[in-house]
Every structure is written in C-alpha cells, then in structure tokens.
C-alpha cells in the first residue's frame, strides 16, 4: 500500500472562480496528485480544496498552491464571514494510509519551512505539528484574524514558527499542521422530531449539554463559581453532533463530525446513537457518509460487526466492507460504491496490475511471447492460492456447528493467512517489475567509462532486487505452511483435502521461487554479499519439502488411505 496524505487547504477566496481554478490547476499539475473536492463559499469568501497523494507530491502541490494564492489573493481587500488571517488561511495534512502521524508531522513542518523561507509568509504550525501547546489550537493561532495580525506578531509569544517575523500585508499568515482524518457522518432516525434528535446528539457529543435545574430544557441554567454554565459531558470524545430534520428524506438525523477517528470510530458512534435512540423509543434505520473515508475505517467497522456476530474476520476486504455497509446502513438513502467513497480505492489504478487480470487473462498473458510474467510471478501466485486454501478452511471451521466456542481461534488463523496471501499477490507484480528493471538496466548507454560504470551498477542493483523478491516469496510461502498444517490437523475434516492441496501449492511456490533466486544469483557479481540469502534459501526449500510431506501424511491419515 502506498503512503498517502490528504491535504485540505482553505483559501481566502470563494467568489472569483477564475482565481480558484488557477490555484487548483497548479495542484493538479503535480504528477500523482488527485483532486478530490473543491468547495467554494460565497458568503464566507473562502474555498476548501481537498487533494491526496504520496507525501513528497503533497508537499510540492501544497507549496505551489500557497505560492499561487499569494500571487492572486490580496488580503488587504478580503471580507468574509469565516475567521481568517491569510491568503492560504490553513493547510492541514492528514495521514490516510500506511503513514504515521509522526511522519505526517515531519512533512507538514517541511512544507511550513519551505513556505516561510521561500515565500516570506509567516507560518504557524498547529494541531499535532505545533511546537508548543498553546499553538495546537487553530483558533488560538488565528485569534485577532488578519486585522489584528500586525500587532500580534510584535509580541514575543506570537512570533511565527517559520518565515519572517514581520507582517506580510498582502498574504497575511498561514497555519500549517497535521491532524487526524475528520469524517462527516449522519445517522438516520425513524422520527421527524428535531427535539428528540438533538437530545440524542447532546447525549453523545463531547461538549454534552448545559446542566439545568429541574426540567432539562426550560429549567434554570446552573453556573459555576466563575459564572460559566456547567455542562454534562457527552459519552464520545472528539465528537461534535447536532440533530436536524432533512426535508428531502422526511426524517430527522444526527449530524456528526468525528474529528479524530482514532479516538471515536464510525462504528462506535453508530452503536452509541443506536443505544441512546433505543432509550427514547426511536430506531436507527441507517446512516449516511458525507464525502470520502479511509479504507482502514471501513475495515475496522466491518471487523467490529463480524466479531459481534462471532464470525471470522479473516475474509477478503471486499466482504468485510460489504458487512460494514450493511451493518451501518450506509446504502439506505443512496447506493454506496466503495470505489468512489473509499479513498484508496478511488485512487487505485484500475487494471494496471497482473493481479487485476481475470484468471483467464492471467493465463493468456503468461502464455504470450513476452518473457514476463514468468516463473517468479507464477510461483508467488501459486503460493497465494495455497495459503488462501488454508484461510478458507479456517473460515469454514470458524462457523461450523460445534465450534462456537473456538470461532476466535480460527478467525486468528484465517487472518494470518490473509496477511500472507495479500503480500504474495503484491509479489506477483513485483517479480515482473524486477525482471523489467533488469531489462531496462541492460538498455542503458555504454559509450563512455562513466556510462559503463553506471550501467554496471544499475544491472547489479536490479539483479539484487530480482534475488530478494523470490527469496521473500520463499520465506512467506514457507510461513504459510504453519497455517495449512494447523488446518489439516484441527480444521473441518470435510475440508482436509483443501489443506492438502494448499500444502502442495506452498511447496511449489517455495521451490519455484528458489529456481529464480538461483538463476539471478548466477548473474550477481558480489557472491559474498548474497551468501546469507543463498544459504537460507536452500534450507527453506528442504524444510518446505519435509513439511509438505508431513501435511500430506496428516491428510492421508484423516482420509484413511
């Protein structure tokens, strides 16, 4: 999975669409960036742009956008209802997949430094990227807005983190930060009562409700010693919520902002609303996702509901997502298309990989006069099929009659298998890519001594990669035999032959990948550097063959032959 960061810059222009277009054009000019949404607001005179890509691409696109905004937007003439203090008012980075918050913070600060140094715009780092606690709050950084910025910057405590410490009259200042993914999410109720919907919203939102004497609606507000209203906190952290009536659907909804899904997830919010609604005689009928959602959030939801049913979570992702959609009722008001609503699926290059081919097309591609895909890719694919059979036996056994008290044990085995077959599927394409890299290296020019040396180095680097990939296929295909052996021993007896076939696939993958290790090792000059790999590869093949024989003995014994 690629590292992906979402960026949601807010620009202080929402009325002149030509200016907005020029800014989004420079964002889209960066290769690999996908523009997800552009939302201009006339009254706020502000546009929220959402795009996503790999970290370096996002930093580049964000910089270009901030630079173009500084050229096109003059804050001296800006008026709007929304708080703001700069042409690019705020620019948060949000980790989406395969990247930590710590890594995201570093990229946010890298952008902040570049904007400050190269564009001479004062930059304040906020939220997780803040260097001090008082700057974590965007509201604190932006207090006083553009009109108060000049005086604010004269104080020692509000010197910018990057860029000049003097007021930039044209561009103002920019807040650059890192935050968790925010999800806008509505829960549907079988009522038209906004009062009841609000009551549920106050139950769950972090801010809760104001405490009153007697009647919770009309009673006198209770205040503390400072004269501030006392609040009864809600049950969910990092959640904002309100009730409203949607005329289009004829129902009331709980409108929820999940500001940190690592603290409160979609499924946790849904279940809490269900419980609070039930207390009031109301039924939740479904829910509605606004915008897009990270893949992991949907997988977490699907696994949560599967576990509540005592079902295995070691099933393919598309099945887990289907369970999530049905359990949350995300398709009640409109169809839910994962390819359009899940960020990673939306960004995926459709049909560009071998593993995206149909079985028939994969066979035809292998049989063609092209040397790739070859034995290495086929070995990885066979290994994936072998461990998939092991996962299948685990999944079947997990909900077999009489195994109710062991469903979790078999779910763990199935999930272990899923991790392995997903990696092997990636290695199908990586093996072919490795072969192609060798071919490209051989095509490099060799007319000068420098070119000859560069070509030789490129060939050796590509060859080393072509050794390491089938070696990895050997390692994890052998690891999969632990799962397959367990399923032969304790899995559903009716599926024992599936475990037997899985073992044969696994040992074929190991031996097939070993042949690719050997053939590429012959072309690698530094034999000492790969000796450890070669020794371990030979050992793995012997162990795999022995383990396969052991599994076949278990299978034959259970078949009584």
Residues catalogued as catalytic: 82, 431
Strand duo 183-189 + 284-290: pairing: antiparallel
Please report, for residues 68, 195, 197, 205, 276, the alpha-carbon distance to residue 245 in angstroms, rounded to integers and kept in the order given. 40, 10, 9, 18, 18
DSSP letters of 313-350?
S-S-HHHHHHHHHHHHTTTSSS---HHHHBHHHHHS-T
Q: Which two tokens mark 381?
A: 């694919």
Angle between helices 407-442 and 449-490 (to 10 degrees): 160
Neighbours of 386 (CB within 10 A): 29
Asked if 431 and 345 count as a contact pair (C-beta separation under 8 A), the reply is no
HEC sequence for 492-550: CHHHHHHHHHHHHHHHHHHHHHHHHHHHHHCCCCCHHHHHHHHHHHHHHHHHHHHHHHH
Q: What 8-state DSSP symbol labels residue 182?
A: P
> CB–CB of 311/398 below 8 Å?
yes
For 142, the enclosing helix (H) or strand (E) is helix 138-142
Q: Using CA atoms, how far apart are residues 494 and 539, in angstroms rounded to an integer?
A: 33
Helix (H), strand (E), coil (C) string for 184-238: EEEEEECCCCHHHHHHHHHHHCCCCEECECCCCCCCCECECCCCCECEECCCCCC
Q: Which helix (H) or strand (E) holds 62?
A: helix 55-72
Is there a contact between 19 and 72 (Cβ–Cβ < 8 Å)?
A: yes
Q: What angle do CA 496, 497, 501 make, to 5 degrees?
A: 125
**Cis check: omega of the bond before 373, within 30 degrees of 0:** yes
Compute, in degrees rounded to 10, the torsion defined by CA atoms 409, 419, 350, 48. 90
Q: How far apart are the C-alpha atoms of 209 and 300, rounded to whole Å? A: 30
Cβ-proximal residues to 273 (8 Å cutoff; 6+ apart), any chain: 187, 200, 204, 254, 256, 284
Which neighbouring-strand residues pair with 97? 4
**Separation in Å, CA 248 to CA 275, 333, 487:** 26, 10, 52
Comparing C-alpha atoms, which of 429, 417, 421 is closest to residue 355?
429
Measuring CA to CA, which residue among 43, 41, 61 is closest to residue 51? 61
CA distance 485 to 502: 9
């Amino acid at each position: 999975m690629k590292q992906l960061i979402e960026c949601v810059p807010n620009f202080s222009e929402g009325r002149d669409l030509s200016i907005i277009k020029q800014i989004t054009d420079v964002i889209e000019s960066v290769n690999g960036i996908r523009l997800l949404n552009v939302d201009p607001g006339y009254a706020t005179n502000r546009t929220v742009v959402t795009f996503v890509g790999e970290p370096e691409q996002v930093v580049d696109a964000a910089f270009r956008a901030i630079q173009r905004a500084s050229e096109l937007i003059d804050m001296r003439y800006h008026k709007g209802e929304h708080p703001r203090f700069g042409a690019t008012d705020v620019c948060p980075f949000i980790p989406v997949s395969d990247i930590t918050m710590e890594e995201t913070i570093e990229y946010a600060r890298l952008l902040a430094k570049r904007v400050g140094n190269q564009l001479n715009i004062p930059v304040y780092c906020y939220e997780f990227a803040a260097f001090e606690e008082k700057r974590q709050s965007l509201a604190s950084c932006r207090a006083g807005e553009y009109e108060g910025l000049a005086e604010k910057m004269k104080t020692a405590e509000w010197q910018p983190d990057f860029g000049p410490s003097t007021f930039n009259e044209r561009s103002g200042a920019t807040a650059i930060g890192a935050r968790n993914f925010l999800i806008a999410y509505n829960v549907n109720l079988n009522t038209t009562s906004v009062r009841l919907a609000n009551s549920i919203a106050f139950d769950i939102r972090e801010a809760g409700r104001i405490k009153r004497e007697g009647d919770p609606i009309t009673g006198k507000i209770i205040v503390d010693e400072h004269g501030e209203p006392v609040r009864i906190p809600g049950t969910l952290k990092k959640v904002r919520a309100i009730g409203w009536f949607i005329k289009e659907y004829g129902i009331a909804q709980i409108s929820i902002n999940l500001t940190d899904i690592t603290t409160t997830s979609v499924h946790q919010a849904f279940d809490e609303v269900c419980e609070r609604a039930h207390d009031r005689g109301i039924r939740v009928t479904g829910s509605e996702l606004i915008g897009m959602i990270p893949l992991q959030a949907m997988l977490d939801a699907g696994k949560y509901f599967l576990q509540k049913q005592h079902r295995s979570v070691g099933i393919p992702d598309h099945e887990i997502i289907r369970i999530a959609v049905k359990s949350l009722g995300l398709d009640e008001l409109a169809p839910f298309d994962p390819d359009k609503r899940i960020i990673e699926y939306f960004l995926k290059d459709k049909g560009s990989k071998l593993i995206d081919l149909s079985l028939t097309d994969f066979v035809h591609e292998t049989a063609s006069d092209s040397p790739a895909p070859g034995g290495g890719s086929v070995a990885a694919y066979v290994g994936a099929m072998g461990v998939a059979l092991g996962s299948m036996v685990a999944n079947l056994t997990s909900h077999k009659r009489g195994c109710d008290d062991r469903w979790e044990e078999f779910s763990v085995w199935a999930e272990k298998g899923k991790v392995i077959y997903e990696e092997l599927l990636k290695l199908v394409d990586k093996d072919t890519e490795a072969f192609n890299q060798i071919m490209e290296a051989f095509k490099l020019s060799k007319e000068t001594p420098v070119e000859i040396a560069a070509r030789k180095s490129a060939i050796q680097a590509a060859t080393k990669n072509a050794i390491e990939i089938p070696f990895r296929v050997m390692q994890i295909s052998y690891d999969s035999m632990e799962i397959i052996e367990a399923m032969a021993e304790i899995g559903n007896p009716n599926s024992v032959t599936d475990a037997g076939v899985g073992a044969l696939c696994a040992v074929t993958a190991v031996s097939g990948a070993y042949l690719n290790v050997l053939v590429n090792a012959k072309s690698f000059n530094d034999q000492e550097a790969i000796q450890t790999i070669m020794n371990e590869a030979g050992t793995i093949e012997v162990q795999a063959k022995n383990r396969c024989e052991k599994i076949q003995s278990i299978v034959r014994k259970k078949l009584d032959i």
